[in-house]
Every structure is written in C-alpha cells, then in structure tokens.
Amino acid sequence: MIKECVNIKTIIWPVYIDSKRTRKEGRKIPLDDAVSSPSLSDISRAARKLGLSPETEKDKSFPGLWFENSGRVIVERNDLSKKEVLLKISKTIKGSRK
C-alpha cells in the first residue's frame, strides 16, 4: 500500500514558544524548551532550516492577545505533530543564539 505524503499547514504564533509567556497566555511547549522573545524572522529562519516552507504574515494578531500585532508563520509540517514542530523550531532558535 502506498502512503501519501500530505502537506498539512500549521500556524505558529510567537507566543507558542515564548518563555516569557505562561501556558494560560498561550505558550504550548515546556518552559525549559521555550525561547525568550522569539521574533518572526527567528521562527521563519528556523523553519526554513528544518525544510518546513515558512510563510510569514506580519499583520496578524494572536487571538488571546489581539491588542499585540505579533504576526505569525505558517509552515508545512508533513508527518510531524504540531508540538514536535514547535519543539524543533524552538531548539533550532536556541542553537542559533549560542
């Protein structure tokens, strides 16, 4: 049986991987894995390194923080879960900041 590779698009808001945010504010990964104040360019660069074909939208606001114009990055996550993508992007950003 042939397995089709489906390209699933996922939205990544900076708040998802921001160590300065609480889980209640929208952080989705453990604090130890999170990054301090990730920018859209950080996320996009990391996603590009991981081969996730990022698309950046600068004029969007995270619904829970609608008053902040944080922007978002849309990636193709292929066979990875959303949490796996967030963790890989965060670790890539951490590695590039050292």
pTM of this structure: 0.88
Quick one: pLDDT at residue 65? 83
Query: Above 80 in pLDDT, residue 86?
Result: yes
Which residue, among 41, 36, 1, has the nearest Cα to 20 in the 3D structure?
A: 36
In whole angstroms, give the CA distance from residue 90 to residue 76: 16
Residue 18's CB is within 10 A of a number of other CB atoms, namely 21
For the chain, domains (ranges, CATH) are: 11-97 (3.30.56.30)
Q: Looking at per-residue confidence, does 87 or 66 come out higher?
A: 87
14-64: per-residue pLDDT in tens?
999 999 999 999 999 999 999 999 999 999 999 999 999 999 999 999 998
Q: Residue 92: name the closest of 59, 43, 28 by CA.
A: 43
For 68-96, give one letter per residue: b (16+ CB within 10 A) or e: eebbbbbbbbeebeeeebbbbbbbbbbee
Predicted local confidence at residue 16, as pLDDT: 97
> What is the sign, positive or negative, of the torsion defined by CA atoms of 55, 56, 62, 66?
negative
